[in-house]
């Protein structure tokens, strides 16, 4: 029995009509169809996509709608879609899958491409659940059938690539992996296949590489794959060469350990590409070396702490290739684009080369200096701007990695030259010069640790030059901001020398404010760079000397923020611009509040202005009806800390925005920041937060239970439980049952997480830590009054700690939180749960593991917990 | 997904703008700051001991041990920080500076009061003393003086070298004892000085030379209040000797004897306790004081206290004072004991005098070893008195107690009891060194009470004084028991063996005494008659 699909071509075409009314109506109909009968809807879309008679426009949209019915960026939505798909009748699903597999053989390229993508989406759901066992076989048979047309092979390879991208290599058995890999590598064979097939095969290999652990361990298979990739890297077609180099990049990071025997070939191949190939290919060739650097830097960093673990092998490829690699990279530096844009998203061969040079410097340290300096010295005074810019860029790139001893004399000798070069006739040269100065201040200006290229003698000249260059064209001014940023940061916590910058603060701040006002640059880049630099200057200043200046800056920023309310807002763009400006100004206020409230002497400045500042923030909120302003919220957190219990008076007005913030699932960062600010307010208000707690707790609980909220917000919410409990103490009683139930549920989720998914494990660690923080807050909150309420949950807490203690992948911070919560339990609940502690024998072992830790903080916590448990056992 | 690869291999260029990264870093910093604040709040809660279910002493003890093991480093680092705070507070000027100093002092005081083992060393190393001295300067607000003196008090409560660290602070502490200071400030200073005086002779001499005694003495003049008690306690520490000049200086303070007598008469036991300690040292160290106090009728007051109080703290110094007075002036005791006989300036009701031995008996019965020993000591002094004294004790309810204590109690009490019993059996030798006359009636009843074994045990003890006491009693038994049954009794309790140990004893007196007794009573003729 075959289900009848509905004819939906008209709707699909109408939904792309230029006439808005027609479009809206069609979209409505499609939506209605989808909601009323999802299985039929999907089937109809599949028919549309599979049918060669249909117009390509309707087929394209059908494919997109199918894809969007199976996958979404938002994790909550994705989960829902997966559930819906799984609920569909098996027969109907296999009909859809049949249609999709048929479509990759279509004569219409676009339909093949789309269905390849949709197949991968279905595979991502069904292959892990072993519900589409025939998929791989079916695809492979397309490759082995002698009569298969080239276009079928091409889309089959494309499909295989996408499927490999979607699923994990644990989802296939080794036999399947072998077959897939064989098919893909054969598809790369130049003699047997046309360009499209080879391109598809090469791209598929890129995704299949992750599956090939076993094959790469076998030298014969590995060498065969490497030979095919290297051959493909010399293909006639640039796109294929590019794809092959992308494979090499991926191999460099995944199979670094086994590359030794191929390095000579790979060097020649990449050097040739960098020298003479098209830029898109050359970029990948440079990327290959950058990736090798990444691997070696990782291994070096892994090596340095004496953990005793066997670190992965370091083959020193960069060190060995250095004499040839560096000249190759230096050569790229002179290939600048004539009218190079100074946007961050510009990426070309000279930038890639400089970036790689920086990585090489970090990999080999001092060794790079003698190889680069002659190039710098020869080129930096040449009449051709490309030479001067390349020389400066090379110099700036190698400032991180080599020792200060090695760099200091050169930098000292070159500093005056660079200061003069800020007046170079060429914009690019000035840009790179300012950037190089900012790198010098970043790496060679740390008075805190005893070294700085800046002395009281040359500081006036440096500040003078920088401030003068602040008036240069926007892209240069922006780099100068970076230089001032690093200059200021060096003086943070620098004791007496932190005063050195104090005399210039007024002038620096004036120039930064002026730069922020400029309108001659693209978008708001200079403005945001100016304000962030201003923030760093304020943050790192010597407060006792700068308090007057910061005190004067405060009203200036307040006025500016006030003025943003009067901006004319007509379009969405106006609204965005206003919000951006407000973001910058709220950011400055946040830093000023934090700085001034850090000392008793200056705190009154904030207290005196608190009412007005708060009013401004409320007005900022008022400007944006749909959402809550993230930066304003962050600044409010700082204000709550500064004002302490006084903050209570703002709560009636602020509260609705806190609620809105908590409900903003779309912009989950806003939600997350709001959760954090509620924590700040709890600490400021203590039990004065009580009247708002019912509503806050309800929202927090709803958020935790919602699939629609980004998961990254959930850990902060559990921590916030702890904050609230600490603030209201025994009053938390009314929430304890619900809160604990959810905490136990979340703990369960942690226990079932896929330990191979690194990103998920990272989340799991955050979640576990936050659950323990919630336990700690609730326990300590109940300490004086309601300790007995926690008796029923003691067992669960200890089980959870036990589980965590047995997880070798746990983060140190999770360990700390777990040990602390265990101590809190012993400290607070005491006597009644004594037998539990005797039953959980893991405690002793876990504690002694913690006591052996290198982390002093963890050791302290473990000692305290040990004391709490000992006290319990002795009495 | 459509553009697999082409965008994936793009990395961030080394040459990037400061704006984006800086903003992210700033927001991250804000989150980190909040995290740190949360951690420090929970940490504070964890360390907060108040309000936990620490009920009995046992709990508290365990907790304190925990404190040293687990939290001492935390406490020390907090202390160093508190001293730093104080330093900056002391340097700061102008509005709010005073409040800041008080806040800093209070924090330091809180830390120094925190555990059984306050972080004194940490405070000293961090340089607390000069700062605290500065906070004691004249004209400072009371709150500041109080907190500062409190800190010094707790520091002075530490180990000897820590107490000594207060030397630079002593002149100002003494200065604030004066009448111009408010009572709480003066009291706190007295407390600190009391701790210093308790440390030893050397520091006591320093305090005396700086004039601490007269103002302290005047502080006990008022009728009541914690100030009186603290000052009295400090004063007793200051005069405790062994040198007597402080005690002598104290008696010369006008009105001091009246004040002492007045406080002993009042019912406040806590004040009376400290005052009684003053009396202990005065009666031990100063003849003038002793006679002035006796003249003032102190014995009657002491006996009243003895009869009416159940406080161990009070009974100990009262008993010791009584003992002191009796040993210095046995006649004085007579006036108490033989109440009916009028003496020139006392008029003690019979009732009380009869109670004295019973009150002492009560002390002998007490659980407290110190009380037993002190009571036995007083009784021994009384028993050294006239025949009437001896009769009174002999007929009192103290007798069975004394007999039992001789055989069962620890050595120090046993020795005191032996003195009592021994004294009861002989008449006091008035001058001359003739052998004392035996009161046979007492001797017979005491020996039949089973005390001989106890005395013979004393003979065996390495303590010369106790051995002598034992030998003396054996002599009494051998000489004084009717029908010569003494030698049999002594032999029956292995007395010969005990005495023969002295044949070659290094102490000549004991050797001669033992040898002559053995020769005389157990010589060649011994046993022939049987």
Which tokens hold the place of A110? 């676009």
- Residue A569's SS3 state is coil
10 Å Cβ neighbour count for B184? 16
**Model confidence over A783-835: pLDDT tens digits?**
877 888 898 999 999 999 998 888 877 888 899 999 999 999 988 887 788 88
Q: Within 13 A of A535's CA, how many CA atoms are on the CB side?
A: 31
Q: In angstroms, what CA-CA distances link B32 with A174, A493, A542, A680, B26?
A: 45, 18, 21, 12, 10
Residues of B in contact with A871 (CB under 8 A): 62-63, 66
Q: Span A770-782, mean pLDDT?
A: 94
DSSP-H helix ranges across A37-171: 38-50, 56-70, 75-87, 90-103, 109-126, 134-144, 150-166
Q: Tokens standing for B38? A: 């949360």
> pLDDT 10s digit of each residue in chain B, 530 long?
444 444 446 788 888 878 778 888 888 888 888 888 888 787 777 765 433 333 333 343 344 444 444 466 777 888 888 888 888 888 877 667 778 888 888 888 888 876 667 788 888 888 888 888 888 888 788 888 888 898 888 888 878 888 888 888 888 888 888 777 888 888 889 988 988 888 888 888 888 888 889 889 888 888 777 788 888 989 988 888 778 888 888 888 888 888 888 888 877 788 888 888 889 888 888 888 888 888 888 888 888 888 777 777 788 888 888 888 877 666 655 555 544 334 444 444 444 455 677 778 878 877 777 788 888 888 887 787 777 778 878 887 888 888 888 878 777 788 888 888 888 888 766 554 566 788 878 888 888 887 888 888 888 777 788 888 888 888 888 888 888 788 888 888 788 888 877 777 777 788 888 888 888 887 766 655 54
CA A596 to chain centre: 31
pLDDT confidence of residue A512: 96
Chain B residues within 8 A of A401 when measuring between CB atoms: none
Among A287, A536, A823, the residue with its CB nearest the CB of B9 is: A287
CB contact at 8 A, B326 and B382: yes
Cα gap A583→A524, rounded to integer Å: 12
Signed CA dihedral, B77, B83, B87, B93: sign only = positive
Q: Summarize pLDDT for A697-740 with one digit per residue, the tens.
A: 999 999 998 878 888 999 999 999 999 999 998 899 999 999 99
Q: Tell me how far apart the alpha carbons of residues A28 and A777 are, in angstroms, rounded to a whole number.
A: 49
In contact, A194 and A240? CB cutoff 8 Å: no
Is residue A534 within 8 Å of A577, Cβ to Cβ?
no
CB contact (8 A) between residue A591 and residue B26: yes
In the predicted model, what is the mean pLDDT of residues A248-276? 94
* CA–CA separation, B271 and A825 (whole Å): 45
Residues of chain B positioned with their CB less than 8 A from the CB of A466: none
Q: What is the pLDDT of residues B439-474, one digit of tens each?
A: 878 888 888 887 888 888 888 777 788 888 888 888
End-to-end CA distance of chain A, in Å?
Answer: 76
Which residues in chain A have their CB less than 8 angstroms from residue B66's CB? 867-868, 870-871
Tokens of B208: 């005396």
Which pLDDT belongs to residue B50?
Answer: 35
Chain A nearest-CA residue for B74: A860
* A712/A698 Cα distance (integer angstroms): 19
Q: Is the pLDDT of residue A331 over 90?
A: yes
> Which member of A161, A246, A875 has the closest CB to residue B62?
A875
Q: Determine whether the interchain pair B38/A679 forms a contact, defined as Cβ–Cβ distance below 8 Å.
A: yes
Confidence of residue A511 (pLDDT cuts 50, 70, 90): very high
Which of A395-399, A626-630, B15-19, B24-28 has the highest mean predicted lDDT (pLDDT)? A395-399
Q: Does B93 touch chain A (CB under 8 A)?
A: no
Q: Structure tokens of B16?
A: 């990037």
Distance CA A673, CA A634 (A): 7
Residue B69 sits at the chain A interface (C-beta within 8 Å): yes
Residues of A in contact with B1 (CB under 8 A): 117, 120, 162, 165
From the list A816, A740, A750, the residue with the least C-alpha distance to A775 is A740
Chain A residue with minimum CA distance to B22: A532
CB–CB contact B17 A820 (8 Å) = no
> Which residues contact residue A461 at a Cβ distance below 8 angstroms, ignoring those fewer than 6 apart?
A419
Find chain A residues with C-beta within 8 A of B5's C-beta. Answer: 203, 206, 243, 246
CB contact under 8 A, B70 and A243: no
Kindly report the length of chain A: 875
Can you spell out the DSSP letters for A636-692? HHHHHHHHGGGGGGGHHHHHHHHHHHHT--SSHHHHHHHHHHHHHHHHHHGGGGHHH
In terms of Cα–Cα distance, which of A434, A484, A493, A477 is closest to A459?
Answer: A484
The pLDDT value given to residue A840 = 80
Q: What is the model's pLDDT at position B95?
A: 67
A769 Cβ contact list (under 8 Å, min separation 6): A715, A811, A813, A814, A817
User: Is the dihedral angle over the CA atoms A382, A385, A389, A390 positive or is it negative?
Assistant: negative
Residue A391, classed as helix, strand or coil, is helix
Helix residue spans in A193-333 (DSSP H):
195-208, 213-217, 219-232, 238-254, 263-276, 279-303, 317-333
Distance CA A872, CA A866 (A): 10
Q: List chain A residues with CB under 8 Å of B12.
A: 355
CB B494 within 8 A of CB B454: no
Between B4, B13, B58, which is nearest A355 by CB?
B13
How many angstroms separate the CA atoms of B245 and A137, rounded? 111
Q: Which residues pair with A452 in a beta bridge?
A: A445
B-chain residues near A525 (CB < 8 A): 17, 19
Whole-angstrom Cα distance, residue B343 to residue A817?
Answer: 81
Phi and psi of A782, rounded to 5°? -85, -5
Distance CA A205, CA A181 (A): 7
Write down the H helix ranges in A347-473. Answer: 349-364, 369-379, 385-397, 404-421, 427-443, 459-469
Mean pLDDT, chain A, whole residue set: 90
User: Given B23, B34, B66, which is nearest A680 (Cβ)?
Assistant: B34
In chain A, the residue whose alpha carbon lies closest to the alpha carbon of B2 is: A117
**How far apart (Å, rounded) are the C-alpha atoms in residues B78 and B67?**
14
Question: What is d(CA A504, CA A752) in angstroms, rounded to the nearest whole number?
Answer: 57
Model confidence over B131-181: pLDDT tens digits? 888 888 887 888 888 888 988 888 888 788 888 888 888 888 888 887 778
Which pair of tokens denotes residue A7?
A: 């004819």
Secondary structure class of A452 (helix, strand, coil): strand
Handedness of CA A35, A40, A46, A51 (dihedral sign): negative
pLDDT of residue A471: 94
User: Cβ of A242 and B15 within 8 Å?
Assistant: no
Q: Is the CB of B9 less than 8 angstroms away from the CB of A246? A: yes
**Peptide linkage before B242 cis (omega within 30 of 0):** yes
State whether residue B434 sits within 8 Å of chain A by CB: no
In sign, the C-alpha dihedral spanning B59, B64, B66, B71 is positive
Mutating which of A636, A783, A832, A850 best tests the B interface, going by the most B Cβ atoms within 10 A?
A: A783
Return the minimum-mean-pLDDT range out of A249-253, A390-394, A562-566, B113-117.
B113-117
On whether ipTM exceeds 0.85, the answer is: no
* A335-389 pLDDT, tens digit each: 988 776 666 667 899 999 999 999 999 999 999 999 999 999 999 999 999 999 9
Other Cβ atoms less than 10 A from the Cβ of B410: the count is 11
| B61/A contact by beta carbon, under 8 A | no
A615-619, A623-627, B66-70, range with greatest mean pLDDT: A615-619
3-class secondary structure per residue, A472-520: CCHHHHHHHHHHHHHHHHHCCCCHHHHHCCHHHHHHHHHHHHHHHHCCC
pLDDT at residue A497 tops 90: no
Pick from B1, B10, B30: CB nearest A638: B30
What is the spatial distance between Cα A769 and Cα A777, in angstroms, rounded to a whole number? Answer: 12
Q: Helix, strand or coil for residue A445?
A: strand
Distance (Å, rounded) from C-alpha B113 to C-alpha A438?
Answer: 52
Question: Considering only CA atoms, which of A262, A251, A240, A241 is closest in space to residue A208?
Answer: A251
Closest chain B residue to the Cα of A721, Cα to Cα: B38
H/E element, B288: helix B287-295
Measure the CA–CA gap between A258 and A255, rounded to whole angstroms: 6
pLDDT, average across residues A582-609: 93
Listing DSSP states for B193-229 in one string gives HHHHHHH-HHHHHHHHHTT-HHHHHHHT-SSSSHHHH
Burial (0-12, 13-18, 19+ Cβ within 10 Å), B328 = middle
What gap in Å lies between CA B392 and CA B56, rounded to an integer?
45
């Amino acid at each position: 029995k075959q289900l009848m699909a509905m004819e939906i071509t008209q709707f699909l075409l109408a939904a792309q009509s230029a006439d808005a009314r027609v479009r809206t109506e069609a979209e409505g109909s499609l939506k209605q169809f989808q909601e009323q009968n999802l299985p039929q809807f999907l089937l109809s879309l599949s028919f549309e996509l599979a049918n060669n008679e249909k117009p390509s426009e309707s087929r394209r949209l059908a494919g997109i709608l199918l894809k969007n019915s199976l996958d979404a960026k938002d994790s909550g939505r994705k989960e829902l879609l997966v559930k819906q798909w799984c609920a569909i009748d098996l027969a109907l699903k296999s009909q859809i899958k049949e249609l999709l597999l048929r479509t990759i053989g279509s004569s219409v390229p676009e339909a093949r491409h789309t269905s390849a993508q949709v197949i991968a989406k279905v595979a991502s759901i069904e292959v892990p659940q072993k519900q589409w066992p025939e998929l791989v076989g079916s695809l492979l048979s397309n490759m082995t059938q002698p009569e298969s047309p080239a276009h079928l092979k091409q889309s089959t390879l494309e499909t295989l690539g996408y499927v490999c991208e979607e699923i994990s290599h644990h989802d296939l058995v080794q036999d399947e992996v072998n077959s897939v890999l064989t098919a893909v590598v054969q598809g790369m064979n130049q003699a047997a296949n046309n360009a499209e097939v080879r391109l598809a095969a090469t791209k598929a290999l890129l995704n299949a590489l992750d599956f090939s652990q076993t094959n790469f361990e076998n030298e014969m298979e590995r060498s065969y794959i490497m030979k095919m990739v290297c051959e493909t890297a010399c293909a006639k077609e640039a796109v294929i060469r590019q794809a092959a180099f992308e494979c090499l990049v991926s191999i460099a990071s995944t199979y670094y350990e086994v590359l030794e025997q191929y390095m000579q070939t790979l060097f020649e191949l990449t050097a040739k590409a960098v020298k003479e190939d098209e830029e898109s290919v050359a970029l990948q060739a440079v990327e290959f070396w950058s990736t090798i650097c990444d691997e070696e830097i990782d291994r070096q960093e892994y090596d340095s702490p004496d953990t005793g673990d066997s670190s992965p092998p370091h083959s020193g490829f960069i060190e060995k290739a250095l004499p040839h690699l560096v000249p190759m990279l230096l050569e790229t530096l002179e290939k600048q684009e004539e009218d190079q844009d100074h946007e961050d998203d510009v990426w070309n061969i000279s930038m890639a080369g400089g970036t790689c040079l920086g990585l090489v410097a970090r990999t080999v340290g001092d060794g790079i200096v003698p190889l680069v300096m002659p190039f710098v010295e020869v080129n930096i005074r040449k009449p051709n701007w490309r030479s001067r810019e390349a020389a400066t860029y090379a110099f700036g790139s190698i400032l991180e990695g080599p020792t200060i001893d090695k760099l200091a004399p050169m930098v000292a000798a070159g500093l005056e030259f660079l200061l003069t070069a800020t007046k170079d006739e060429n914009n690019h040269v000035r840009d790179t010069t300012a950037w190089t100065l900012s790198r010098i201040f970043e790496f060679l200006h740390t008075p805190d640790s005893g070294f700085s290229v800046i002395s009281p003698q040359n500081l006036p000249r440096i500040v003078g030059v920088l401030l003068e260059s602040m008036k240069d064209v926007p892209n240069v001014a922006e780099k100068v901001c970076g230089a001032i940023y690093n200059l200021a940061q060096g003086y943070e916590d620098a004791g007496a020398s932190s005063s050195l910058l104090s005399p210039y603060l007024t002038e620096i701040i004036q120039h930064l404010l002026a730069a922020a006002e400029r309108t001659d640059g693209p978008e708001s880049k200079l403005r945001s760079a100016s304000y962030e630099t201003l923030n760093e200057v304020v943050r790192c200043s010597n407060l006792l000397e700068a308090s007057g200046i910061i005190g004067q800056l405060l009203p200036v920023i307040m006025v500016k923020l006030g003025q943003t309310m009067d901006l004319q807002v007509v379009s969405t763009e106006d609204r965005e611009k206003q919000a951006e400006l407000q973001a910058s100004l709220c950011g400055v206020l946040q830093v000023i509040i934090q700085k001034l409230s850090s000392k008793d002497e200056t705190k009154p400045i904030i207290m005196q202005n608190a009412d007005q500042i708060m009013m401004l923030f409320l007005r900022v909120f008022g400007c944006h009806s749909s959402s809550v302003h993230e930066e304003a919220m962050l600044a409010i957190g700082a204000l709550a800390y500064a004002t302490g219990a006084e903050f209570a008076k703002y709560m009636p007005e602020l509260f609705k925005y806190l609620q809105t913030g908590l409900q903003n699932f779309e912009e989950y960062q806003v939600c997350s920041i709001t959760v954090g600010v509620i924590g700040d307010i709890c600490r400021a208000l203590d039990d004065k937060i009580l009247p708002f707690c019912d509503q806050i707790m309800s929202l927090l609980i709803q958020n935790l239970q919602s699939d629609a909220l980004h998961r990254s917000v959930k850990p902060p919410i559990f921590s916030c439980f702890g904050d609230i409990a600490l603030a209201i103490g025994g009053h938390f009683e009314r929430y304890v049952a619900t809160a604990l139930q959810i905490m136990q549920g979340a703990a369960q989720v942690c226990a079932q997480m896929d330990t191979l998914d690194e990103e998920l494990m990272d989340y799991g660690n955050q979640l576990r830590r936050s659950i323990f923080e919630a336990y700690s807050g609730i326990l300590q909150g109940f300490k004086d009054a309601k300790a007995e309420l926690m008796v029923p949950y003691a067992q669960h807490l200890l089980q959870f700690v036990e589980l965590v203690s047995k997880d070798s992948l746990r983060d140190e911070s999770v360990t700390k939180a777990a040990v602390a919560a265990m101590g809190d339990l012993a400290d607070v609940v005491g006597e009644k749960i004594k037998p539990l502690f005797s039953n959980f024998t893991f405690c002793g072992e876990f504690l002694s593991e913690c006591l052996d830790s290198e982390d002093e903080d963890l050791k302290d916590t473990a000692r305290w917990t040990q004391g709490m448990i000992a006290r319990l056992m002795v009495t | 997904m459509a553009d697999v690869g082409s965008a994936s291999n793009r990395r961030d260029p080394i040459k990037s703008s400061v704006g984006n990264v800086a903003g992210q870093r700033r927001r991250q910093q804000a989150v980190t700051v909040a995290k740190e604040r949360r951690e420090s709040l929970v940490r504070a809660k964890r360390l907060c001991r108040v309000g936990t279910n620490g009920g009995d002493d046992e709990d508290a003890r365990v907790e304190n041990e925990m404190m040293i093991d687990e939290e001492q480093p935390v406490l020390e680092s907090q202390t160093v920080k508190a001293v730093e705070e104080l330093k900056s507070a002391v340097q700061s000027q102008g509005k709010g500076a005073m409040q800041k100093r008080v806040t800093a002092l209070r924090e330091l005081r809180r830390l120094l009061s925190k555990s059984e083992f306050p972080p004194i060393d940490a405070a000293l190393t961090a340089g607390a003393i000069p700062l605290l001295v500065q906070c004691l300067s004249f004209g400072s607000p009371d709150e500041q003086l109080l907190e500062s003196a409190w800190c010094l008090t707790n520091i002075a409560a530490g180990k000897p070298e820590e107490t000594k660290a207060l030397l630079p602070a002593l002149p100002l502490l003494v200065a604030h004892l004066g009448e111009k200071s408010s009572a709480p400030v003066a009291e706190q200073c007295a407390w600190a000085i009391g701790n210093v005086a308790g440390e030893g002779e050397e520091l006591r001499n320093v305090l005396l030379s700086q004039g601490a005694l007269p103002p302290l003495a005047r502080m006990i003049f008022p009728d009541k209040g914690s100030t009186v008690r603290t000052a009295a306690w400090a004063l007793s520490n200051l005069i405790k000797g062994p040198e007597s000049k402080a005690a002598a200086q104290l008696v010369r303070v006008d009105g001091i004897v009246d004040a002492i007598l007045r406080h002993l008469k009042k019912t406040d036991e806590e004040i009376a306790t400290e005052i009684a300690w003053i009396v202990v040292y005065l009666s031990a160290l100063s003849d003038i004081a002793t006679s002035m106090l006796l003249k003032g009728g102190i014995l009657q007051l002491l006996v009243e206290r003895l009869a009416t109080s159940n406080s161990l703290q009070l009974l100990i110094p009262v008993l010791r004072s009584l003992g002191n007075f009796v040993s210095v002036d046995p006649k004085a005791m007579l006036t108490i004991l033989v109440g009916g006989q009028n003496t020139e300036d006392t008029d003690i009701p019979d009732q009380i005098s009869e109670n004295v031995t019973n009150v002492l008996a009560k002390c002998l019965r007490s659980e407290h070893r110190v009380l037993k020993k002190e009571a036995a000591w007083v009784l021994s002094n009384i028993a050294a008195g006239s025949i009437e004294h001896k009769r009174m004790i002999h007929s009192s309810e103290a007798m069975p107690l004394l007999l039992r204590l001789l055989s069962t109690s620890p050595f120090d009490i046993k020795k005191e009891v032996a003195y009592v019993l021994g004294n009861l059996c002989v008449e006091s030798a008035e001058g001359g060194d003739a052998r004392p006359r035996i009161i046979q009636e007492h001797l017979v009843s005491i020996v039949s009470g089973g005390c001989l074994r106890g005395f013979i045990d004393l003979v065996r003890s390495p303590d010369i004084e106790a051995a002598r006491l034992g030998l003396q009693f054996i002599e009494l038994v051998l000489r004084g028991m009717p029908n010569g049954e003494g030698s049999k009794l002594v032999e029956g309790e292995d007395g010969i063996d005990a005495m023969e140990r002295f044949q070659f004893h290094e102490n000549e007196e004991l050797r001669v005494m033992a040898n002559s007794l053995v020769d005389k009573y157990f010589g060649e003729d011994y046993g022939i008659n049987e």
